[in-house]
Amino acid sequence: MADDADGGGADAGDAGEADDRGVDSVTLEVIRNACEAVAEEMNANLVRTGYSPNIKERRDCSTALFDAGGEMIAQAETMPVHLGAMPFSVAAAVEAFPPETLSPGDSVLLNDPFRGGAHLPDLTLVTPVFDESGEELLAFAANRAHHADIGGSTAGSVAADSTEIYQEGLRIPPVKFESAGEVRDDVLSMILANVRTPEERRGDLRAQTAANATGRRRFREVAAEHGDLLGPALEEIKDYSERRMRAEISDLPDGTYEFADLLDDDGRGNEDLPVEVAVEVDGDSVVVDFEGTAEQTDGPVNAVFAVTASATYYAVRCVTDPDIPPNHGCYRPIEIHAPEGTIVNPDPPAAVVGGNLETSQRITDAVLGALAEADPEAVVAACQGTMNNVTFGGTDPRTDGPYAFYETQGGGFGGRATGDGMDGVHVHMSNTMNTPAEVLETAYPLRVERYAYRPDSGGAGEFRGGLGLRRDIRVRDHEARFSLLAERHESRPYGLAGGEPGGNGAAYLVDYAEQSSASSRTQSGDEDGEELEKLAAKHTRDLPPGSVVSIRTPGGGGYGDPADRDPERIERDLRLGKLTPTAASEAYGYAPDGDDGN
C-alpha cells in the first residue's frame, strides 16, 4: 500500500495505529479485501451459473458492492465499461425505490440508458443487503450482464441501423424484480414476451439473482464479524482511495492537455464525428471537458453520460495507479463536463446501443491521447478502438427454434514504452473473452471457417502495435439476419512517440467454394478466400445459407521510432508470421543478412 497523500489515513506502515474513525489499518485492509473478495465471488457465481455463452464463456458481466448510501465500495475487476457506469444504475434504483420501500429479499432491475443504464442489452440487478434482523440496511449488491437479446429490430439487439432507442429493444426503468425473495412473475413474463430467446434470458436472469444472493450472504458475514467498525471502515476505505488518487494526480504536471479523435461514421451517412477533449490538471484534481464533440447523431453511436463517465474514469486510472482500490473515493477528484445533446451526453430518444460499445472506446482513446502529453511513458499507443460487434439471428434448422448470437472481436493492443502491444485481445472498455469455436458451433447454426492473426496489422514502432484478428463465420443451412457495428474501418489507431498507426479493420463476404475444407487452406494472410463484397462497418442485412462473413479487426498503434526497433524483434516477428518480408522492408528498412533488399 502506498503512503496516503496527507498522512491522515491507513497505510501498511502503521499496522496497529487507528485512524480518526477508530479503525486501525490492519482492520481496514481486512475489511477492504473482504469486500473485494465478496465482489469477486459474486462474479464467479454469475459466470458459473450463466446460461448463455455470452455470460459463461465470454464473461460479459460485472459485479460490485455499494454501501447503504449507494456509493461503490468494491468491484470485481471485469468489464471497465460496466463498472464505471454501474453506480449510475444503483443511484437510479435507489431514487426509484428509497430504502424505506425495500425489504429483505427484494431486488430492482433496470436497463434504461437514460435512467442509469448504458445500453439496453445490459441488465443491471440491484439487491439491498439487510442485517440478520432485517431492519438495518447494510449495503447493496449489484451486477450487470449483457443479454444476447433484449428484443428490438434485430436479433442480438445490437442493430447498426437504429435511429431511436425504441428500435433497440425492451426498455426497463427501475422495477422491483424480486419481492421477499420471490421473482415477480408479472415482470419476468413481460421481459420474456419481448425477447427472441426467452429460456436463455430466464437462465441468465437466474444467474444474476444467484450472484446477488451470494453477495448478500457473504457481506452479512463480513458485517457480523466486524460489527460497529464496518460503517466507519467503509467510509475510510473510500477516503483512502481518494487520497491516493489525489496524490497520483498531483504528480502530473499542471496544465491543460487537448486531443481529438474521430468516429468513422454513425451508419446513417454522418461521417468523421469528432470526440474532442481538454484535460485540465490542477493540483490534485482533474477536469475533463468534452466541449467541441459532435452533436448527437441519427445513428446508434450516442453514448449516455454514464458511459462517458465510465470511459473517463478508466483512462485516468490507467495513467495514475491502477492499483488504487476502485471505489467511489477514487473518482471524487475527477470532474467531467459533457455538453448535453452531443454524442457523449445525448438527449432521449437517441439510439445508444453503439455508444456503449464503440463511442466508449473513442472516448478512452481521446482522454488517453490528451494525458499522453502529461505523462508520455504512462500511456499506450491507441488500441484497436472498437469492439467489432457481430450478431446473427434466425431460426436454427436443428431445433426449428429462434436463436440470437452476439459477440465482440478482439484486436491489437497499442505498443508502449516498455514493449510490444498484445495481439488479438479485447481492449480498454471491453475485457471479455472470445467465444470458443467449439462452443459457437455447438450452440448456434454457424461454423468458424477461419480464426487467425492478421499479419502486418500492428503499427510499426520501436515497440510494435498488437495484431488484429480475422474471424470468418459461415451461416449453415438457413437464412440469417446479420448485423455488424464496428469502427476504425477508416480512421486508424494512432501511434505515439513516433510510432505508426495500426492497420484498419474491414469486413467482407468471402467465398470458399473452390476449397474443400479448412484443413486444405494455406496460411496466406488476408488473401485466403475470394473477397466478394466489402461490407460497411455499420451494416445490417439478410444472408442466404452458406454465406461467409469475414471480420478483420484493427491492429494497435506503434510506440517509438520504427528505426529504433531491435532487429531481433523483427526477425522473431518474421519467423512467427506476424510480419511479412515486404512489410519488414517497407516499415523498418529491414533485409536479411546478405540481402540488399532489392
Average pLDDT (167-187) is: 97
546: amino acid identity, one letter: G
Q: Quick one: pLDDT at residue 18?
A: 53
Q: Quick one: pLDDT at residue 467?
A: 98
What would the grid cell of residue 442 be? 455447438
Q: Quick one: pLDDT at residue 513?
A: 62
Average pLDDT (534-560) is: 97
DSSP 203: H
The whole-angstrom distance between residue 8's C-alpha and the CA centroid of its chain comes to 35
Report the distance separating Cα 56 and Cα 52, nearest Å.
Answer: 6
For 190-231, how does the pLDDT look when each residue is reduced to its tens digit (9 = 90+)? 999 999 999 999 999 999 999 999 999 999 999 999 999 999
Q: Quick one: pLDDT at residue 528?
A: 65
Instruction: Return the domain boundaries, the chain.
Output: 25-240, 380-598
Q: How confident is the prediction for the chain on average, in pLDDT? A: 92
The whole-angstrom distance between residue 95's C-alpha and the CA centroid of its chain comes to 26
Average pLDDT (7-15) is: 39
Confidence of residue 20 (pLDDT cuts 50, 70, 90): low
Burial 42-77 (b: 16+ CB within 10 A, else e): bbebbbebbbbbbbbbbbbbbbbbbbbebbbbbbbe
Beta strands in 147-194 (DSSP E): 175-179, 182-183
Percent of the chain with pLDDT over 70: 92
Contact 206, 49 (CB under 8 A): yes
Task: Give the three-state DSSP class for 491.
Answer: coil
DSSP assignments along 426-489, one per residue: --TT-------HHHHHHHSSEEEEEEEE-TT-SPPSSBPPPP-EEEEEEEPSS-EEEEEE---S
- Please list, in sequence order, all residues whose beta carbon lies within 8 angstroms of the beta carbon of residue 177, skipping any fewer than 6 positions away: 107, 108, 109, 125, 183, 184, 187, 188, 205, 209
Q: Quick one: pLDDT at residue 515?
A: 46
Number of other residues whose CB lies within 10 A of the CB of residue 338: 23
Taking the C-alpha atoms of 12, 18, 22 and 28 in order, what is their torsion angle to the nearest 10 degrees? 10
- Put the strands of the sheet holding 480-485 in their side by side order: 401-407, 389-396, 480-485, 538-543
Which candidate, 355, 503, 331, 362, places its Cα nearest to that of 427? Answer: 362
- Please list, in sequence order, all residues whose beta carbon lies within 8 angstroms of the beta carbon of residue 100, skipping any fewer than 6 positions away: none
Cis peptide bond prior to 349, omega within 30° of 0: yes
Q: Quick one: pLDDT at residue 16?
A: 44
Distances (CA, A) of 372 to 20, 81, 407: 38, 21, 31
- Please list, in sequence order, all residues whose beta carbon lies within 8 angstroms of the beta carbon of residue 51, skipping any fewer than 6 positions away: 199, 200, 202, 203, 204, 206, 207
Residue 13 has pLDDT above 80, yes or no: no
Contact 261, 235 (CB under 8 A): no
Residue 150 has pLDDT above 50, yes or no: yes
Q: Where are the alpha helices (DSSP H) in 270-359?
A: 305-319, 328-331, 353-354
Distances (CA, A) of 297 to 361, 505, 536: 17, 23, 18
Give the range among 9-13, 162-166, 350-354, 501-505 with minimum mean pLDDT: 9-13
Report the distance separating Cα 304 and Cα 340, nearest Å.
Answer: 10
Confidence of residue 591 (pLDDT cuts 50, 70, 90): confident
Average pLDDT (456-478) is: 98
Q: Quick one: pLDDT at residue 434?
A: 86
Contact 65, 141 (CB under 8 A): yes
Q: Quick one: pLDDT at residue 17?
A: 52
Residue 515, H or E segment: none
